[in-house]
Amino acid sequence: MTQSFPTNLPWLPKPQTAPSPFTGWTRAQWEATADHWLEHIRNYSSPLKASPRLPGHVTRDGERREGMETIGRSLLLAAPRIAGARGQDRLALAEWYRGALLAGTDPVGKERWPLGVTCKSPLLGVTNSIVEAANIAFSLFIAREWLWDPFTESEKKQVAGWLRHHARLEVWGNNWQLFPAMAEGFLRSVGEDVSGCTGGRNVARVESWYLGDGWYTDGPEHSIDYYNAWAIHPYLWAWYKMTGREETPDGQRHLERLREFVSTQGLMFATDGAVLHVGRSLAYRTAVLAALWCAEMSGVNPLSSGATRRLASGVLANFTALGVGVDEPLSLGWYGPHEGSCQAYSGFGSPYLAGIGFLGLALPPEHPVWQDVEEPQPSDGPPIVRPLPDLGWTLSTHGGLSRLTNHGSDHCGLPVGGGPDPDDPHYARFSYSTHTAPGTGQAWADNIDGHLALLGSDGVASRRCALRGSRTDGVVSGSVHVPQLYGKALAGTAVTTVSVTRGIHEVRCHLVRGPADYRVREGGHAVAGNQPVSAGASGATAWVNNGDVFAAVTGMHGWEDAETTGYTGSNAMGEHSAVPHLSARRTTEQTVHVALHTLTRDPAPAPEWLEAMAAVVVSGTEVTVRWADGGTQSVDLASFVPWDGQVGK
């Protein structure tokens, strides 16, 4: 079950197992990987360095925007590499990026970058330069002595003017609020004019979205994702520092929230370095480590230095072992290229936001995080179940795999992919894991995995869309949604779903209320691989297996048929994928359906073992689960989740 970390890449130093018995990775491997990734950027450089043209997707904003994004994001990687070298910049990265910054911010230059506009509509022009202004400001702060200080006064005036333009703009009501604040914060830290800026107001807005357990929702929508790790926490951390507010009550409150966030996020990484696959912009990959490094740099990290390096090195080594950034620049995808799981706003430079996950290189080589012996990370120990009630999430670890039961995040705002139903496969599923990914493309159109669907007469599946209520109580969590089909809520219909988590299993219970016109279908985890995935069904159980990960769904009450469906090119984890699922007819207006979901990297269990794992007793809307190895949970599906009781209209 352990990942074989790379040892034979010519640009990687040999593993060092004495200080790093788990991964073999030390600071030397991190530096070599950073240099290799940055070499890709320089290989595709433009004459003035400000507009590299990497292979890959170009958004509707055009190559000039993509080149700007490539510089802004790769600078997040270069800055800690420069700062940690303490003047021993053997690749002359600081000089190279100073040249790129001057060419990009030159208002009459041949490679000048587009200026951002106030965000009112995605049709009003290029806005992404606001994001890159924030990334550049963050990077200048991290490596100020080598990136900013060597500029002449006129050069500083030019770069500051470009940053100031973006610091004064109005932006989308989500994590973008921090981007103008970041530009203002750096300008303030170097004594530049910040008149007309509203960074303090923007930061207060973001702080008002705090949920609990260290997590923020990404704007008014209830979308919870890794933007906490690579944007909200790092930029709040930097803003409080740049503006001299770190020691204020607000600054200290944020550091405490940062500590809490790292303590929960630490459960989202498997023992082999795999990252829990949930939320959007996942092409940023190692950026998930940014908040961890911020906590380490501020002395509020709940993990030891040895556990921190073990976790971070495992993530980077895992991505490297599976080909990320090895032969080509970072691609849009997860392990291999996979644009189906990416967003329309992502271009060829977008994945280089991964560089903020190298922030630990800004710490000196003698820092304990680089010197202490690696220690176990949270998922290395015995099984853990960690409820996060304010999020509607339950995190669990077992046998080298981490899993998320999701009854809190939906990200229901603008429609995804041009469809009428505002839903997203990376938020709408009831469960995610470190070793599975939700179906995209045709699999998303079919909408089977991780979902309870009502099926129209033409076989089209309902969408979950916005959650109407959520509750987490220990290992039991649940939510209510009104199924949506063809852009409309199904009249008189509502679904309550309750999950009971235990080890490699989750018992998922549904109370479906509404007309009996629709069949009902329950999907398990989609399992993928680069070779066709084994799949089958026996009795009440459908299962899929890629040789490493086994997923099954077993009907326990209210189900009739067990099947599997396979796909090609519809999963970020591999070219071939398959999903197990159950289905049944409904004959009354209120039906209860209970299934056992199993996900493990242990040897595949037999269907008869799964069917004996737990028993359920259903009495009206009350479900009692009796586990074969001991323990009982009872829940009334009609009352567990508080909500207004309004079915679809």
pLDDT tens readout for residues 541-600? 999 999 999 999 999 999 999 999 999 999 999 999 999 999 999 999 999 999 999 999
Distance, in Å, from the CA atom of 57 to the CA atom of 72, rounded to the nearest integer, reads: 17
pLDDT of 125 above 60:
no
pLDDT tens by residue, 358-397: 999 999 999 999 999 999 999 988 999 999 999 999 999 9
Q: Flag whether 54 is in a domain.
A: yes
Q: What is residue 6's predicted lDDT score, i.e. its pLDDT? A: 72
Q: What would the mean pLDDT of 136-143 be, rounded to a whole number?
A: 98
Are 510 and 452 in contact, with CB atoms under 8 Å apart?
yes
Do 185 and 263 have their domain in common?
A: yes
**409: domain range?**
386-636
Residue among 312, 534, 546, 536 at smallest CA distance from 435: 546
Contacts of 347 (CB under 8 A, 6+ apart): 56, 57, 58, 59, 61, 65, 66, 69
Is residue 647 in some structural domain?
no
Distance between CA 129 and CA 330 in Å, rounded? Answer: 20
Determine the straight-line distance between the first and last CA of the chain, rounded to whole angstroms.
48
CA distance linking residue 296 with residue 316, whole number of Å: 17
pLDDT in tens, 492-509: 999 999 999 999 999 999
Confidence of residue 62 (pLDDT cuts 50, 70, 90): confident
Give residue 61's pLDDT band: very low, low, confident or very high (50, 70, 90).
confident
Q: How many residues does the chain have?
A: 649
Residue 430 in contact with residue 407, Cβ under 8 Å?
yes
The per-residue pLDDT for 188 is: 98
Pairwise CA distance, residues 592 & 510, whole Å:
6
The reply to whether 371 and 477 lie within a common domain is no
What's the one-letter identity of residue 341? S
| Cβ burial 397-436 (10 Å sphere, 16+ → b, else e) | bbebbbbbbbbbbbbbeeebeeeebbbbbbbbbbbbbbbb
pLDDT tens per residue across span 144-185: 999 999 999 999 999 999 999 999 999 989 999 999 999 999
In this predicted model, which residue has the larger pLDDT, 25 or 125? 25
Q: What is the pLDDT of residues 26-37, one digit of tens each?
A: 999 999 999 999
Of the given ranges (65-74, 105-114, 341-350), which has the lowest mean pLDDT? Answer: 341-350
Clarify whether residues 521 and 579 are in a common domain: yes
**What is the phi/psi pair of residue 184, to 5°?**
-60, -40
Number of Cβ within 10 Å of residue 107's Cβ equals: 11
Least-confidence region, from 299-303, 569-573, 602-606: 602-606
Average pLDDT over residues 68-84: 98
Residues 397 and 544 in one domain: yes
Is residue 484 within 8 A of residue 503, CB to CB? The reply is no
Do 270 and 399 belong together in one domain? Answer: no
- Please give the average per-residue pLDDT across 629-645, as a whole number: 92
Q: What is the pLDDT of residues 221-245, one digit of tens each?
A: 788 999 999 999 999 999 999 999 9
Q: How high is the mean pLDDT of the chain?
A: 94
DSSP string, 544-559: EE-SS-EEEEEEEES-
Same domain, 332 and 375: yes
Q: Please tell me whether residue 354 adopts helix, strand or coil conformation.
A: helix
* Sign of the C-alpha dihedral computed for residues 339, 341, 344 and 345 taken in this order: negative
Q: Residue 151 has what pLDDT?
A: 98
Please report the pLDDT score of residue 422 as a whole number: 67
Of 380, 413, 428, the position where a domain reaches its end is: 380
What is the pLDDT, as a whole number, of residue 423?
82
b/e sequence 209-223, b meaning 16+ C-beta within 10 Å: bbbebbbbbbbebbb
pLDDT at 221: 75
Model confidence at 419, pLDDT cuts 50, 70, 90, reads: low
Per-residue pLDDT, 417: 45
Pairing of strands 561-568, 632-636: unpaired
- In tens, the pLDDT along 302-326 reads 999 999 999 999 999 999 999 999 9
Rounded Cα gap, residues 273 and 279, in angstroms? 18
Asked whether residue 186 is assigned to any structural domain, the reply reads yes
* Residue 253 CA from chain centroid, whole number: 24
According to the model, what pLDDT value does residue 420 have? 58
Structural domain tally of the chain? 2
Nearest-angstrom CA–CA distance, 641 and 497: 9
The candidate with the shortest Cα–Cα distance to 54, out of 39, 34, 33, is 39
Q: How far is Cα 548 from Cα 531, in angstroms, rounded to an integer?
A: 12
Angle at 457 between CA 453 and CA 458, to 5 degrees: 90
Separation CA 251–CA 239 (nearest Å): 9
CATH number at residue 473: 2.70.98.70
450-496 pLDDT, tens digit each: 999 999 999 999 999 889 999 999 999 999 999 999 888 998 999 99
Q: Looking at the domain assignment, is residue 15 inside a domain?
A: no
Token output for 404: 């998320």
Same domain, 351 and 215: yes
CB 506 within 8 A of CB 500: yes
Single out the residue in 354, 380, 406 at which a domain terminates.
Answer: 380
Which pLDDT score is estimated for 413?
A: 59
Residue 627: the pLDDT is 95
Among residues 279, 352, 306, the alpha carbon closest in space to that of 70 is found at 352
Do 229 and 113 lie in one domain? The reply is yes
Which pLDDT band holds residue 415 (cuts at 50, 70, 90)?
very low
Cα–Cα dist 252/249, whole Å: 5
Same domain? 591 vs 606: yes
> What confidence tens digit (pLDDT) does each residue in 181-226 have?
999 999 999 999 999 999 999 999 999 999 999 999 998 778 899 9
Are residues 164 and 300 both part of a single domain? yes
CA gap 503, 385 in Å, rounded: 8
Side chain identity, residue 459? G
Q: Mapping DSSP to helix (H, G, I), strand (E, B) and coil, where does residue 528 land?
A: strand
Q: Judge if 315 and 423 occupy the same domain.
A: no
DSSP 8-state class, residue 157: H
What is the distance of C-alpha 215 from the center of its chain?
Answer: 13
Q: Domain for residue 2, yes or no?
A: no
Residue 8 resides in a domain: no
Q: Is residue 376 part of a domain?
A: yes
Answer whether residue 414 shows pLDDT above 60: no
> Which pLDDT belongs to residue 12?
95
pLDDT at 294: 98
Q: Which CATH number characterizes residue 37's domain?
A: 1.50.10.20
Question: Among residues 464, 609, 476, 574, which one has the least CA distance to residue 523?
Answer: 464
Single residue among 380, 401, 419 that ends a domain in this structure: 380
Quick one: 311 and 425 in the same domain? no
In a domain, 288, yes or no: yes
**Phi, psi dihedral angles at 169 (to 5 degrees):** -85, 155
Nearest to 189 by CA among 215, 168, 210, 160: 160
- Kind plus residue range of the DSSP H or E element containing 397: strand 393-398
